[in-house]
Each structure stands twice: as structure tokens, then as C-alpha cells.
Amino acid sequence: MPIAWGEITAKQVLSPINGTWVSGRQETILSGISTDSRTIRPGELFWALCGDRYDGHNFVEEAVGKEAAGVVVQEDHWRKAQGGENEHIDIQSGDPVVIMVDNTLRSLGDLAKWWRQRHSVKVVGITGSTGKTTTKEMAAGILDLGYRTLKNHGNLNNLIGMPLTLLRLEQDHRNAVLEMGMNRPGEIARLTEIADPDVGVITNVGMAHLEGVTDLEGVVRAKTELIEKISPLGRVIVNGDDELLVKACSLFQKELVTFGTMTSNDLMAYNIQNLGREGLSFDFRYQGDFWTVRLKTPGAQNVFNGLAAAAIAFCLNEPLEHILEGLHHFSGVEGRFMVTSLAGDIVMVDDTYNANPSSLRMALESIKSMVDQGGRIIVGLGEMMELGDASTPAHLEAGRMVADLCAQYFVAMGGHADEMVKGALESGMSQNRVYVAETHEEMASKIMDEIRERDLVFLKGSRRIGLEKVVERIKLSLT
């Protein structure tokens, strides 16, 4: 039976989340759900999530005071907050719905799964160490040319963000393209269970989130949870150039659609033309036919992202003209190898959204062809987070890669900045061309002191380092 916010009642959500009714009117109409008391709107159901740094139960009264229709609370936290087993809701405003569940995070996923099953929609689930967001945006751009397509906002790809995305499904959506992120084993399996994708994609595997999965083999196991849990009717798309990934996927005895540059792939790119700042073009083959793709976005990694997006569209029977048009009009994603021209014919490559060793290597290889004659490369790198025991060697290698790039100047920032500088010095960069910055202001200042006409500035770091602040400071100075 079709469902929609503004029509569904509190009673209807009770069974999907295995909830216990505490108080309120079961006929209460719900206009949506919210996990944030600061932005909740009248008529929405407040979901009290429990995090490491916060407890949503502390904001129940605030949510009800803003005319929330009711609250979903976790029984153990709620009992503790109420001061005893026999105490109930102590909110005087109206008669809000109160539903108790064993685990509010689990129940949020259960509701999203139920919501997804009641919409006639094709769902795509995308995971991988790099390229998830760009592939998602490319695929959504293609699919949206035919039918209304839902996608994650920003990077809402975890056990909170992805269910909240699914709960935005409306009856006129025909596709949903969902990015799936993870920090530890079991998360991709749970996200796959919730989303029940018709098409599952693994862009690649690399050294990312090692704190939660220990090593590269752990990354492979975590990512291939998607293949293990996807429905037998689901289509599986993987990077066929990634031998470790293909080998791991073969254990699940599911038919794979592969993409890459090797001749063995189902979608194979060849004749790749690097057009520098203007993007790139490539030919690709699928099922005996051949086409040419023109991308406005530079970076060799976008060949693979484009192939993955095309494979998704083919699996969903999207017309070829939509695939070519969607890829051609893709303009990039903020913070992910975004190229900006500044005063003095200076180019900035903003790759500050996140970083791991694999994505850094691909990005550094891509900028070599983007430097104007007479121009130089200036690199600012932030620490790469969540690498566990691999942190020190990974940051030493990052510095070596910068030196091998023949960068003119290198500024490092974060807890492992010294290792990055050490790696650069060991690989031949002179002491007067490397610098450790303590703040964003200092990094921006050092780069601005060094920069000159026709230079290329490349900035990349893990999300928590916040190098987008450096990007903004340089832009303000050069525009």
C-alpha cells in the first residue's frame, strides 16, 4: 500500500520498528521524522538517537516544545532519564506520541527499510574506498534525465544518513542512488539490508578506515558485505581492474558486471585523452558497441567513476543518449578535485573533502598534466585520518609522492605532518621548500607567499582537517 508523509499515522510506524506504545493518540498524522531538535518542524516525529557525544533524549522536551508530533525513544535511556521504571512522559505540552524501542538507531533503519519496500523504486547502492560520491552524482544525473531520482544529500551515507535519505522517498520517485560508507565491519551489511538495492556497486578497495578494519584485507571484507547481502536478483558492478576486489567477489558466486581499462572488463575504457584543465575524453566498449564520452571534469579517476555510472545506467536499462548526455553535463562535486581558475592564470585544485592513500595517489597523478608551461605545482596536504597502524608509513609515502611530483613547494598540516615532510625530504625535496603549518591561516599564508602566475595549487586532506578553509582564504586573496 502506498504511503506518504502527511498521510501516515503514528500507529502505522509502530509495527515496522517493533515499538511499544507509551502515550499519545495513535491516529496522529506524521509529516516526517527528524533527528535534530534544532531544525524539527511541527508535525514531525523526533527520533532520539544516542551518540558518543550526545544523547537525543536530552532534547525531547525541546522537540515537543516546537510542536513535534511525538518522540521515539530508546527504552534504557528513557527509563534512566525518567528516573525509574514506573515513571512515564513528563511533558505538559499537548498529548505527544511516545513510542519506546530497544535501539533507536536500529529502529530508524527498520523504518527506512519498510518505507523503501512500499515505494515502486529501483535502488542503487554504491560503496568503495574512493569515488563513491562522484559516481553517485554522475549516476543520479544520468537517471534523473528520465525519471525523478533520489540521492543522498552531501555525504549522508552512514547508518543515520542513508535511512534518513530513504525516508525522503515519494511516490513519483523511480530511482534512488545511495552512497554507502563504513567505519567498521558489519555496517555495509546493515546498509544493504536496509536499502535492498537492485544494483550494488563497489568502486574499488584501498587503504581507508583502517582503524575499524585493521588492514586492506579487512577493507575488502567490509566492502564485499554488499555482495554477500544483496538480493539474488540484484545486479553487481565492480571495478574489474582491482584484482583483489574481483577475487574476493568471486567467492560469492554472483554474476558481476565489471568496468575498467583492462580488456577483460564488460565496460572497457580506451583511447583516454587527457585534456588538462578542460577535462578528458575516452572511448568505451559495452556488449560489442563503442561510444565516445567527453567529461568536463579533469582527473584520470573520473574515467572509472564515469564507467561505473554508465554501468549502473545500463543495468537499469537507461537509454544510451541519457548516459552520454548525463556524463557530458556532469560538472563535478565540491571538494572533490574541483578545478578553479584564479587571478594570474593560477589554478586551484580543491580535493579537500577527504583523503586516503589511494585517493591521494590518483589525484597527484592526475594534476601532472594540468600545469601550464612555465607554471609550478604547490601542494598543501592535511593528515589522513583513520589509518590505524598504517598511519606513519602512509604519511611518509605521501611526502615521497609529493617529492616525486616535482612540486615546487609543500606545506603539511595535522598530527602526521612531520612524517609527510620527512618523506618529502628523504625523496630529495630541499628543506627550504617544505613547511609544517599549525593552522589554516598559516598554511594559506605560506602558499600565498610562494605562489606566482601560472602555478597550480593542490589541496587535499581528511575531512576533519578542514582544508576547505585554506581554499576559501586563497580564493578571497586571488579573486
Per-residue pLDDT tens over the stretch 275-331: 888 899 999 999 999 999 999 999 989 999 999 999 999 999 999 999 999 999 999
Are residue 30 and residue 96 in the same domain, yes or no?
Answer: yes
**C-alpha cell recorded at residue 215:** 588492514
Are residue 98 and residue 230 in the same domain, yes or no?
Answer: no
Q: Are 123 and 202 in contact (CB under 8 A)?
A: no
Are residue 461 and residue 356 in the same domain, yes or no?
Answer: yes
The C-alpha cell 554477500 sits at 228
**Structural domain range at position 368:** 338-478
How far apart CA 371 and CA 187 sit, in angstroms, is 41
Are residue 138 and residue 232 in the same domain, yes or no?
Answer: yes
- In this structure, is residue 400 part of a structural domain? yes
At 452 the three-state DSSP class reads coil
- In this structure, is residue 113 part of a structural domain? no
Average of pLDDT values for 203-216? 76
pLDDT in tens, 176-195: 999 999 888 999 999 999 99
The CATH number covering residue 102 comes to 3.40.1390.10
Q: Is the pLDDT of residue 39 over 80?
A: yes
Q: From the CB of residue 374, how many other CB atoms can be counted at a distance below 10 Å?
A: 10
The CATH number covering residue 459 comes to 3.90.190.20
Instruction: Count structural domains, the chain.
Output: 3
Task: Report which secondary-structure segment, H or E, holds 138.
Answer: helix 132-143
Are residue 313 and residue 369 in the same domain, yes or no?
Answer: no
- In this structure, is residue 394 part of a structural domain? yes
- In this structure, is residue 447 part of a structural domain? yes
Identify the pLDDT of residue 85.
45
Are residue 346 and residue 425 in the same domain, yes or no?
Answer: yes
Q: Is the pLDDT of residue 254 over 90?
A: no
Identify the pLDDT of residue 51.
82
The CATH number covering residue 148 comes to 3.40.1190.10
Are residue 322 and residue 451 in the same domain, yes or no?
Answer: no
Give the pLDDT band (50/70/90) at residue 213: low
- In this structure, is residue 99 part of a structural domain? yes
Which residues, other chains included, contact 50 with Cβ-Cβ below 8 Å and sequence gap of 6+?
A: 56, 57, 74, 77, 104, 105
At 363 the three-state DSSP class reads helix
- When mean pLDDT is compared across 11-15, 285-289, 385-389, 447-451, the lowest value belongs to 385-389
How many helical (H) and strand (E) elements, i.e. helices and strands, does the chain have?
18, 20
How far apart CA 44 and CA 160 sit, in angstroms, is 17
Boundary-marking domain end, from 266, 295, 329? 329
**C-alpha cell recorded at residue 21:** 506504545
Are residue 264 and residue 359 in the same domain, yes or no?
Answer: no
Identify the pLDDT of residue 369.
81
pLDDT in tens, 288-298: 999 999 999 99
- In this structure, is residue 357 part of a structural domain? yes
Query: How far from 254 is each of 230, 233, 238, 249, 276, CA to CA, in Å?
Result: 10, 10, 12, 8, 39
pLDDT in tens, 47-99: 999 988 888 999 999 999 999 999 999 998 877 766 554 344 455 556 899 99
How far apart CA 66 and CA 183 sit, in angstroms, is 34
Q: Is the pLDDT of residue 232 over 70?
A: yes
